[in-house]
Amino acid sequence: MANRREALRNLVLAAAGISLFPACDFEQVPIYSRIPLAKKQYRTLEQLTQNLLPTEGIPVETPERTVDYLLTVLNDCHTDKDLQKFLTGFSEFEEYVASEVKQKLAKLEPAEVENLLDYLAESPDRSKKLEHFYDTTKQLTVQHFTTSEYFLKNYLDFEFAPARYLGCVDISV
């Protein structure tokens, strides 16, 4: 009788643990000293960079993800004024997505994402801070891709130092 109770108790505990496991989020978000971002904001920015320059199916290998590159460059290389404009533009972007789109970026259809990016790129009624946010995000996303080894080797025929070594070559004068 006690073994049955013990087995039933263990079964209930295992079922409770399994049902609660999906709610646990173990992914750590990098902390930047000058950019206070919550996990939700980090993921939104990550989705935006993936939608700006989708690299699925392309073997692009970089030391960091695009969003990490973007935030590191902003944190380390931009002035406080630029950071403030970027963060204000980002909050305006989040407000626009919440009020107009009413869905997360990850759940949007490709046509809806294209409409959103068209609005961000070309709309005359967007604010200067939203324009700064979009332009900075797009510029750094493209810069991250164009400085990757894949792009440099396959599109620019770049040879990394020290280049190739040709040991036994006849020198004709």
Which sequence spans correspond to the domains of the chain?
Answer: 30-155
- Dump pLDDT digits (tens) for 87-128: 999 999 999 988 888 888 888 888 888 988 998 898 888 899
- 86 touches 78 (CB < 8 A): yes
Predicted local confidence at residue 72, as pLDDT? 96
Confirm whether pTM is higher than 0.85.
Answer: no
Distance, first Cα to last Cα, the chain? 98
* pLDDT for the residue 2: 66
Note the pLDDT tens digit of each residue in 39-51: 999 999 999 999 9
